[in-house]
Structure 1
Amino acid sequence: MTIELPPIAEHGRSGPVRLDRQTRAALVAAAGERLVIHATADPDVVTIGATSWVGALAVPGLVVRVMPRVSVSNFFAMLSAGVSPEQFEHEQVTWSDTDELVDGVAYFAIRLIDAATMRGLVHGYVGREEQLRTIRGRLLVEEFARRPWAAAEPRCRFDDFTADIAENQLFRCTLMAMLSWPQLAPDVRREALRVLGRFDGVCDTPATKHAVPVPITRLNEHYADAMRLSRLVLQAMSLSHEAGDQLAHSLMVDMDDLFRRWIVQELDHRLAPELRIDADEDVWLDEGRALTMAPDLIVRRGGQVVIVGDASYSMGADGYLASRDYLNLVAYTAAMGLPTGLLVHCNTERVPENEIVIRNAGTRILCRPIRLDGSYSAVSRSMDALADLVRELAEFPGELEVPRMLRTGVR
């Protein structure tokens, strides 16, 4: 018998749940940083705390679902960061807050893979070494000399023009990973199996092989959106924990990481080509270059850094951002010789001040909210206004006067 808990809100907590010893051990082993297991006075009863990870985790005997605090439509907007607008129309997202989030993520990924491959799979040349009855490519003479008794099937090295290339292996691996989810909706499973049929002849590969992005070229550029989301799905489904002879499955996304990536992608799209955003670039803090930090976004005009910023999704318990968010920006601005830092944050009941001036330094930290509890059109307007603020700050990086966009605020 499998227990299916009511969905837990992000950073929320379940009610007491009674688990047998095997299920509890499997849950503790599989939870990692995604869930927090709280003991109670009854050793057979636990409560489960959610973190910033949303999605679902299934172990033998238990399924735990965590729903994002943002609306599902905005969650998919964040998930589609970097995806071409024509591939993802926000108005056509049909998943609601009551639907299964995993099914929505899987269907979105299947739709992109389907669209990318419906006219056929990209082929490429792959180097191979095989024993053949006829010589193909280059005969490996040294192997022939070592093993003359195998002259009937000499070993050859050749380039094979095939669909069994990294791009298609990534898609097949993603589809297989989604099909492994035991709770996948029947209609989504049928779609995954239909698209999987195109990948006959493509080898099965482990998810770890696809950790590094495949370079985008003229030949595979129409694959770019599907590959980007496929890698994200594989990262979300990377948990595969052996619990005896049982297997745990998960599809969970870290909202902290997703928010940072989304902010960078959205701003980069709006600010190009005048300004360029670099993410997670190391900044040297000391003259000896022994200490480094990585801001979430560095805004450049040409080769000049004009503003540095961080994006913080998780709020403090009292509604204020954690002090370390400010301290990081003070360190970035001091090390890079900038008068202003930008802190983009998410929903909170008690919004921090728009501007904070650091004592004895004069450094300004500008705090801008991007609310994700409204409609996508409202979110898009907020991002447009944030991009306008960044342009104004980049135009006058040394001014201590509060810019126009800061006075009017991002709405």
Structure 2
Amino acid sequence: MTIELAPIPEHGRSGPVRLTRETRAALVTAAGERLVIHATADPDVVTIGATSWVGALAVPGLVVRVMPKVSVTNFFAMLGAGVSPDAFDHEHVTWSDTDELIDGVAYFAIRLIDSATMRGLVHGYVPREERMRTIRGRLLVEEFARRPWSAAEPQCRFDDFTADIVENQLFRCTLQAMLSWPQLAPHVRREALRVLGRFDGVADTPATKHAAALPITRLNEHYEDAMRLSRLVLQAMSLSHEAGDQQANSLMVDMDDLFQRWIAQELDLRLAPEMRIERDEDVWLDEGRALTMAPDLVVRRGSDVVLVGDAKYSMGADGYVASRDYLELVAYTTAMGLPTGLLVHCNSDRAPESEIVIRNAGTRILCRPIRLDGSYAAVCRSLDALADLVRELADAPGEFEVPALIRARR
């Protein structure tokens, strides 16, 4: 028997649920930082607390679903961060609040993979070493000398022009990962199987092989959107806990991380080519260069840093940005010699002050909301206004050249 809890809102909490000891042990092991398991006076009863992770987790005997507080339509807009407007057709990927979130994520990814590969798979040259009856490529003479009795099938090294390349392996791995979700809707499963048939002859690979982004070339540029979302899906489904016959599956997305990446990519799109947004940079905090920080948003014009900012999805319990968020920005602006810091935050019933000035320093911290509980058009207008503000701040006097204070993160 499998217990299916009613969906828990993000940062919400379930009612008491009675679990077998095996199910409880599997849930505690699989939850990690995604869920918080609260004990009760009854050792067989727990309550389950949601964090910033949304999606679903399934262990034997229990399925837990966490719904985002933002509208599902805007969740998919965030999930499509960095996906080109042509590929992300807003009307076609809309998924209602009553539909299964996992099915929507899977269908979105399948649609992009299908669109990218419908005209055929990209082929590339892959180095091979095989024993062959006829010489192909380079004969490995040293191997031939060590094993002369195998002269009938000498070892050869050659480049094979094949569809079995990393890009296609990423798509195959993503489709198989989605098919592993036990409760995938039948029509989504059929679509996944249909597209998976296109990858016959492509090797099975572990998800860990596809953590790093692949270089975009003229040959695979039409794969870019699908590859970006495929990596995100694999990260979200990376949990696969096995203990004996206990199996856990999940597809969960960290909204804190997603919001930061989404804000950075949306601003980068709107500010290009005049300015660009950097995320993978460390900033030296001290003169001795022993301490580093990592701002969410570093705005550059050419080689000059003109603005630093943070993007905070989760708000404090009272609706205000936590003091530590201000302190981080004060540290960034001080270390980088900038007069202003920008704090972008998400939905809040009690929004923080739009501007505060730091005592004895004069540093301004500007707070701007991006509300995600409204329409997609309203979100786009808010992002446009945010980009205009960044341009205004970048043109304001007082900025300093600080490239020496920044190093690329390795």
Classify the TM-score, shorter chain.
over 0.9
Matched AA of 1:382:
S
Tell me if the contact between 2:93 and 2:108 (Cα under 8 Å) persists in the aligned partners.
no
Shift of 1:93: 2.9
Structure 1 counterpart SS, 2:351: coil
Shift of 1:280: 3.1
Shift of 1:246: 1.9
Q: Which runs of 4+ in 1 moved over 3 A?
A: none
CA distance in 1, matches of 2:48, 2:397: 47
Query: 2:278 maps to which residue?
Result: 278
Query: 2:63 maps to which residue?
Result: 63
Structure 1 counterpart SS, 2:281: coil
Query: 1:40 maps to which residue?
Result: 40
Shift of 1:91: 2.4
Decide which moves more: 149-158 or 230-239.
149-158
Shift of 1:292: 0.3
| Contiguous gaps of at least 5 residues in structure 2 | 400-410
Query: 1:144 maps to which residue?
Result: 144
Tell me if the contact between 1:306 and 1:397 (Cα under 8 Å) persists in the aligned partners.
no
Tell me if the contact between 1:280 and 1:297 (Cα under 8 Å) persists in the aligned partners.
no
After TM superposition, list the pairs within 5 Å mapping 1:245-284 onto structure 2.
245-284=245-284
Query: 2:92 maps to which residue?
Result: 92
Query: 2:135 maps to which residue?
Result: 135
Matched AA of 1:67:
M
Structure 1 counterpart SS, 2:157: strand
CA distance in 2, matches of 1:4, 1:209: 33
CA distance in 2, matches of 1:90, 1:296: 26
Query: 2:175 maps to which residue?
Result: 175
Structure 1 counterpart SS, 2:86: helix
Matched AA of 1:149:
W
Tell me if the contact between 2:172 and 2:199 (Cα under 8 Å) persists in the aligned partners.
yes
- RMSD over aligned Cα atoms: 0.8
Shift of 1:397: 4.3
Q: Against the structure 1 CA distance between its residues 94 and 277, is the aligned structure 2 distance closer, same or farther, given a 3 Å change threshold?
A: closer
- TM-score, with normalisation over the residues of structure 1? 0.96
Tell me if the contact between 1:259 and 1:313 (Cα under 8 Å) persists in the aligned partners.
yes
Matched AA of 1:395:
D
Shift of 1:5: 0.3
Query: 2:390 maps to which residue?
Result: 390
CA distance in 2, matches of 1:201, 1:89: 31
Tell me if the contact between 1:207 and 1:238 (Cα under 8 Å) persists in the aligned partners.
yes
Tell me if the contact between 2:340 and 2:364 (Cα under 8 Å) persists in the aligned partners.
yes
Query: 1:236 maps to which residue?
Result: 236
CA distance in 1, matches of 2:127, 2:393: 51
Decide which moves more: 226-235 or 314-323.
314-323
Matched AA of 1:184:
L
Decide which moves more: 239-248 or 119-128.
239-248
| Contiguous gaps of at least 5 residues in structure 1 | 400-411
- TM-score, with normalisation over the residues of structure 2? 0.96
Shift of 1:202: 0.1
Query: 2:406 maps to which residue?
Result: none
Tell me if the contact between 1:2 and 1:60 (Cα under 8 Å) persists in the aligned partners.
yes
Decide which moves more: 69-78 or 278-287.
278-287
Pair 1:363-2:373 in alignment: no
Q: Against the structure 1 CA distance between its residues 87 and 36, is the aligned structure 2 distance closer, same or farther, given a 3 Å change threshold?
A: same
Tell me if the contact between 2:76 and 2:94 (Cα under 8 Å) persists in the aligned partners.
no
Pair 1:333-2:333 in alignment: yes
Matched AA of 2:41:
A
Query: 2:292 maps to which residue?
Result: 292
CA distance in 2, matches of 1:384, 1:26: 45
Shift of 1:94: 3.6
Tell me if the contact between 1:307 and 1:397 (Cα under 8 Å) persists in the aligned partners.
no
Tell me if the contact between 1:121 and 1:163 (Cα under 8 Å) persists in the aligned partners.
yes
- Deviation digits for residues 172-203 of structure 1 (CA, Å, limit 9, x no counterpart): 00000000000000000000000000000000
Structure 2 counterpart SS, 1:86: coil
Matched AA of 1:321:
V
CA distance in 1, matches of 2:244, 2:359: 57
Percent of residue pairs bearing the same amino acid type: 87
Tell me if the contact between 1:340 and 1:397 (Cα under 8 Å) persists in the aligned partners.
no
Number of equivalenced pairs? 399
Query: 2:352 maps to which residue?
Result: 352
Structure 1 counterpart SS, 2:391: helix
Structure 2 counterpart SS, 1:85: coil
CA distance in 2, matches of 1:275, 1:370: 21
